Structure 1
Amino acid sequence: MNRETTTLISLKETMTRVDHKLQALEAQFKELDFTKDNLAQKFEHHSKTLANQVAQDELWTAVLSLKFTFLVLNILYSYVIEVLICLHTRVLEELPDLVRGLPTLTSILRRKVKNKRIRVVWESVLAECGLQEGDITALCTFFVAHGNKAEHYIAKVRQMYIRDVNFLITNMVKNQALQDGLLKAVQVIEKGKAVRAPEEQKSSLKELMPTVKS
């Protein structure tokens, strides 16, 4: 074997080793990219979870801090409970074969997570009413916090005590999620569907609550 042949073989071996190292580096870079993407996804998920938790805490604080009179609380509760009953009823109308398995709205909220059929109907009903999941969270939070002490007032009684409940909510409920949920609840019951938040009224709170003669 002459010197030139030996040099070529040595060069080939060197190129092979370099190629193997490049392949190893490429594999390491791919692994690093995968790790980076995985960490980024975990961080994003953690950030969303933390943000949701903060929003939930703020919502609960807002609900528990409401300074409504018993009368106003009952009126708002009446809208909330009527909307929740309406949603439950609408879902059952679309899923008559599941009536026994969905006795409450809570059962729908729980089962829709894993049951696609229930989830699709639920989302469709929300869309028909102009509601979103955040609105339901706010309304359910209100119901859990005040449902044990509030009373239901029929529409005639509500109108007798408060002329403009939208203005009342806008001015007395500062948490945006809770305010939006309550405003939409009123719209669903009074108009059949939630629309954009009504424009701010110029009336005073005193004007909105007429004196009821005994």
Structure 2
Amino acid sequence: MTHETTTLISLKEAMKRVDNKLRALDTQFKELDVTKDNLTLRFEHHSKTLASQAAQDEIWTAALALGFTSMELNIVYSYVIEVLICLHTRMLQKLPDLVRSLPTLASVLRRKAKNKHVRLVWESVLQEYGLQERDVSALCTFFIVHGNKGEHYAANVRRMYIKDVSFMITNMVKNQALQDGLLRAVQIIEKGKQAQDPENSRAPLKELMPPVKD
């Protein structure tokens, strides 16, 4: 074997080793890219979760700090409770086979998180009423905060006390998400979009949401 042949073989072996190392590095870089993408997705999800929690905390704070008089609070509460009843009633109308297993709106909210069919029906109901999840979240927060002392006023009684509830809400509720939810509740009821008379609702008012623990 000549010197040139030996050198050529050594060079080929060296190139093969380099090629193997490059392939190994390429595999490692791909794995690093996948790891980076996974970490990025986790970070984005965590950031969204924190932002959502912060927004919800702000709604709770705003609901607790409302400066309504007792009468004003009861009037706003009446709109909120009627819309929540409408949502629950409409869900039962669309899911007659689940009437017994969905006795309250709280049970609907729990079930939709686990059941795709219930979730799709829920989304269609929200669309019917022109509501979004954040609106329902704001209304439920208001109900939990004030439901233990709220009193339902009939429509004719509400009109006797306050002529423009939307104007009152806009001026007194500073948190945008809570304000939007309350305004939507007023609009839905005033436009007659409720599914049925809330006084004949299937579920008692106090059972729409779980009790608040001190």
Q: CA deviation at 1:4?
A: 2.2
Q: Distance in 2 between matches of 1:77 and 1:126?
A: 20
What is the CA–CA distance in structure 2 between the aligned matches of 1:14 and 1:193, rounded to whole Å? Answer: 79
Q: Following TM superposition, by how much is the alpha carbon of 1:3 offset from its aligned partner in structure 2, in angstroms?
A: 1.8
Structure 1 residue 193: Cα displacement: 5.3
1:36-47 alignment, distance < 5 Å: 36-47=36-47
Structure 2 counterpart of 1:26: 26
Q: Provide the residue aligned with 1:121 in structure 2.
A: 121
Identify the residue that residue 77 of structure 2 maps to in structure 1.
77
Given residue 161 of structure 1, which amino acid in structure 2 is its aligned partner?
Answer: Y
Q: 93-102 vs 1-10, which deviates more?
A: 1-10
Aligned equivalents of 1:75, 1:147: Cα separation in 2: 12
TM-score (norm 1): 0.89
Verify: 1:182 aligned to 2:182, yes or no.
yes
Secondary structure of 1:174's partner?
A: coil
Shift of 1:7: 1.6
Q: Which has the higher contact order (CA 8 A, sep 6+)?
A: 2
**For structure 2, which runs of at least 5 residues remain unmatched after alignment?**
195-214
Letter paired with 2:22: L
Give unpaired runs (5+ residues) of structure 1.
195-214
Q: CA deviation at 1:117?
A: 0.7
> Which residue matches 1:48?
48
Match of 1:180, as an amino acid?
D
Structure 1: which amino acid aligns with 2:82?
Answer: E
Specify the alignment match of 1:136 in structure 2: 136
Question: TM-score w.r.t. structure 2 length?
Answer: 0.89
Q: Name the structure 2 match of 1:164.
A: 164
Question: Aligned pair in 2 of structure 1 residues 9, 193: CA closer, same or farther (>3 Å)?
Answer: farther
Deviations 1:2-35 (A, max 9, x none): 2222122111101110101100110111111111
Query: Retained in 2: the 8 A contact 1:59–1:138?
Result: yes
Secondary structure at 1:90's aligned position in 2?
helix
What does residue 210 of structure 1 align with?
none
Partner of 2:15: 15
Aligned length: 194
Partner of 2:202: none
Residues 130 and 193 in structure 1, CA contact (< 8 A), matched pair in contact too? no
Instruction: Specify the SS of the correspondent of 1:56.
Output: helix
- Aligned 8 A contact 1:129 1:192 in 2: no
- The residue identity in structure 1 corresponding to 2:134 is G
> Is the aligned partner of 1:58 residue 2:58?
yes
C-alpha distance in 2 between matches for 1:177 and 1:144: 16
Query: How far apart in 2 are the matches of 1:24 and 1:114?
Result: 43
Residue 86, structure 1, aligned to residue 73, structure 2: no
CA displacement at 1:192 relative to structure 2: 4.0
Which stretch of structure 1 is more off in the superposition, 140-149 or 30-39? Answer: 30-39
Displacement of 1:46 after TM fit? 1.3
Say if 1:77 and 1:143, in contact at 8 Å, map to a contact too: yes
**Counterpart Cα distance in 2 of 1:164 and 1:14:** 85
After superposing on structure 2, the runs of 4+ consecutive aligned residues of structure 1 that deviate more than 3 Å are: none
Q: Is the 8 A contact 1:63 1:142 kept in 2?
A: yes
Residues 99-150 of structure 1: CA distance to partner in whole angstroms, max 9, x if unpaired?
Answer: 0010000000001011011001000000010000000000000000000101
Whether 1:99 and 2:99 are equivalent positions in the alignment is yes
Q: CA deviation at 1:59?
A: 0.5
